[in-house]
Structure 1
């Protein structure tokens, strides 16, 4: 589970990078638009980069959701195991008490 948490942190950094690329592309496209160069080779290149970053962002977001789900499942399982062990210790303690009482009686 620690590995999944680590991966989720890395994905968060990658998501920030993809968002920064999208923002940079938007700024560059806006600047080109202000200069009257909203069409042409450079604008198309920037638009292509932006689309790539948006696709990457969608994939990273899905990956983050999947990791979040795995981590939640892992935590729930660990909590369930801990609760089961606690109950087993309680049962063992009760059984030990019953044996002691039986020995004292018999």
Structure 2
């Protein structure tokens, strides 16, 4: 990381990409697509590329659903169990409340 040894790195999943982001300046220092990650899984664990990519795409959708549920209800975040149920049933958290 060069001259800034005190900087930490955060992993961010955004728009189907895994980003390595340097803190505190929030500069993206590396980006991996789902294809990149599927290729790593394929070779590291002898898992077919198409199966790996399918699982990663589903994971990205689920993570986005979880983030959306928390972001859209800031005044009263859902409990983990309620959120998991809503995501499993593909409901928005606000639909669950009605």
TM-score range, shorter chain: 0.3 to 0.5
Task: Point out the structure with the larger strand share.
Answer: 2
TM-score, normalised by the number of residues in structure 1: 0.31
Q: Which has the higher contact order (CA 8 A, sep 6+)?
A: 1
Task: Point out the structure with the larger helix share.
Answer: 1
TM-score, normalised by the number of residues in structure 2: 0.33
